[in-house]
Amino acid sequence: MRTPKRLATLALLSLGAAGLAAGTACTPAADKAGTSATTAGFAPFVDRYLDGFARRHPSIAAGNGLHDHDDLLDDFSAQAIAAEIAALKTAAAELAAFSDSSLTPDERVDKRILAGVIDGWLLEQETLANWKRNPMTYASALSDGVHNLMTMENDAAPVRMRRIIAKLAGVPAFLQAARTNIVNPPRIFAERGLGMMRGASTMLTVDLPVAFAAEKGTPLMDSLLSAAAVAAREIDAYTTDFEKTVLPTANGEWKIGGDAVARRYRSEELIDVPLADLAALGERELKLAQDRFRAAALRLAPGADPQATWLTIRRNHPKRGEVVAAAQAVVDSLTRFIATKNLAVVPEGEHVVVKPAQPFSLGFASMHASPPLEKTPVQSVFYITDADSADAPAQQEAWLERFNFASLAITSAHEAMPGHWLHSVHMRQTPGKIRRIWIGLNPFPQPSSGQDGWAHYSEELVVEQGFMNGDPRYELAQLSDALTRICRLLSGIRLHTGEWTLEQAQACFEQQAYVAAPAAKREAQRGTYDPTYGGYFLGKRGMLTLRRDVKAAQGDQFNLRDFHERVMKNGIAPIWAHRQLLMPGDTSRVIQ
């Protein structure tokens, strides 16, 4: 995923997973782009809900391909939040009124998913009230909406420029809400939010002109730059005041408690498993992954220290200036591998485009896939950021280590093939709309087990199937990422239940997942505001269990390509939903 150098968290696009009843052929509903038999009233209800959601959170909605309110900023006034809470409760009651017996199988699954999403938002806005304690929420809403309009060419540049101008007109009221609401945030939230707000100002003054360079000299460009300059001054005044009046005494509590973490998993991921059981699963899988890591290292270098072997692999990377070409080569290799192994079909005319990251979109590596709800698919691009020539040699080397040839392949499997990109292509055929979107953005609720669980599964899949002839280097890269995701699960739970301090969480990443200290510290800190970032691991775990169970049910009829394509076409769904769609009436525990 993207790790921005100076921008706020970017609006990641909806990418998902899919499936049908075990032992059955694909139904017409799953084979036609987003069409299915619908119950009178249910589809219109979904449309009304999504329009209300888009009006309340236009920046998140834009990342899903919902653009009717691109000209707005989120309204975080107490009055608007109260209205949102009331609207969510009304929507929950309306949704519950739909009789399951009157809905199609797809709609019954969508009803359960949406009920959980609504509950997750009620937890967020009414119970946890992060709008009162997390300035990152504001920074994300401000920067992500503008950034989407800069990068996603769903409309002509002049159209998107006018929407940015209209959006920026709301900055004064938006920042006033932040001043009023955020009084004593947790210090880590305050520091990160301050940095993200400064990044938003830089985006407006430095990056925005680059994004629309082709319009330079036009009256519209002059209007855009004028609006951006005014908004940047407002942001700068806010950050100056925040640094003087809020940051020095910021000492609010970031822990939300075990009950809230469990409710988030239950609502967003439909995982109703005691936290103690999830932690026990994480501990068990951590040890197993470590054993596999050591075994792979010893196959490669018998008698050598496994971590020293991994460090040697990390230092084998493309030279600066050659990283994008190396990424395109590995994506093409993965595409051929997926076809040769018959793991999934890439629709005719579709392919992964790899490009250097745009000057205003600095990050490591990220897939900007066309959201399945875009009326007309836009160009999907896998952006790669090479080392910065202005950095010192040691900094360049540290950056390039992340692009070592083995890790570059695993990252490409996650982001592009057969991960997020291929997922997004198949999701154009997902029935309805609920499973073709993701309805949240950190620190908001998001169903990551369906989004990143599939991508994390994709990493393990290519290694399992023998990519690069089973070279242990690729298994080590995959296991390195897997260990990190397991420590995320443990940290998210144990930080918020008070079992671990930040230092203990950092130690998990350093000592158990072999992550370098600076990155381990960042991973631990992420757990303070993203307590369910264990969804990566849980999603992959659930997918592997589901594959095992479907294979057992189908016996000789099981086809791995069929399984993958059915999963992808059923959209961005929690594992519970996939189990219902592939094995109707299943009552087994979602995560085992």
Confirm whether 186 is domain-assigned. yes
Distance CA 336, CA 453 (A): 23
The answer to which of 32-46, 372-386, 565-579 has the lowest mean pLDDT is 32-46
HSE (side-chain half, CA atoms, 13 Å) at 572? 33
How far apart, in Å, do the first and last CA atoms of the chain sit?
26
In this prediction, residue 274 carries a pLDDT of 97
Angle at 110 between CA 554 and CA 265, to 5 degrees: 90
Q: Using one digit for the tens of pLDDT, what is the confidence trace for 300-315? A: 999 999 999 999 999 9
Q: Dihedral sign, CA of 366, 397, 458, 577?
A: negative
Provide CB contacts within 8 A for 436, sequence distance 6+. Answer: 14, 16, 34, 372, 373, 427, 428, 430, 571, 572
Higher pLDDT, 170 or 378: 170
In this prediction, residue 360 carries a pLDDT of 64
Provide CB contacts within 8 A for 178, sequence distance 6+. Answer: 76, 135, 138, 238
Residue 6 has pLDDT above 80, yes or no: no
Confirm whether 560 is domain-assigned. no
Question: Could you give the strand order of the β-sheet that contains 354-356, starting from the edge strand earlier in sequence?
Answer: 354-356, 381-384, 365-368
For the chain, the domain total comes to 1
In this prediction, residue 40 carries a pLDDT of 73
Cβ proximity of 516 and 549 under 8 Å? no
Cβ proximity of 224 and 161 under 8 Å? yes
Q: Using one digit for the tens of pLDDT, what is the confidence trace for 38-90? A: 567 999 999 999 999 999 999 889 988 999 999 999 999 999 999 999 999 99
Confirm whether 70 is domain-assigned. yes
Confirm whether 408 is domain-assigned. no
Average pLDDT over residues 352-381: 84
Confirm whether 495 is domain-assigned. no
126 CB neighbour count, 10 Å cutoff? 15
Distance CA 277, CA 265 (A): 13
In this prediction, residue 78 carries a pLDDT of 97
Residue 419 has pLDDT above 90, yes or no: yes
Average pLDDT over residues 208-215: 95
In this prediction, residue 447 carries a pLDDT of 55
Confirm whether 286 is domain-assigned. no
DSSP code string of 301-332: STTS-HHHHHHHHHT--PPTT-HHHHHHHHHH
Confidence category of residue 438, pLDDT binned at 50, 70, 90: confident
Distance CA 23, CA 555 (A): 9
Average pLDDT over residues 210-234: 97
Instruction: Give me the percent of the chain exceeding a pLDDT of 90.
Output: 81
Confirm whether 402 is domain-assigned. no
Q: Domain span at residue 246?
A: 40-258
What's the distance, CA 566 to chain centroid?
Answer: 21
In this prediction, residue 358 carries a pLDDT of 76
In this prediction, residue 363 carries a pLDDT of 66
Average pLDDT over residues 244-270: 96
Confidence category of residue 430, pLDDT binned at 50, 70, 90: very high
In this prediction, residue 33 carries a pLDDT of 37
Query: Mean of the per-residue pLDDT values for the chain?
Result: 90
The SS3 call for residue 568 is: helix
Confidence category of residue 24, pLDDT binned at 50, 70, 90: very low
Q: Using one digit for the tens of pLDDT, what is the confidence trace for 517-559? A: 999 999 999 999 999 999 999 999 999 999 999 999 999 999 9
What's the distance, CA 295 to chain centroid?
Answer: 31
Confirm whether 161 is domain-assigned. yes
Residue 32 has pLDDT above 70, yes or no: no
Q: Which backbone phi and psi does 366 adopt, to 5 degrees? A: -155, 145
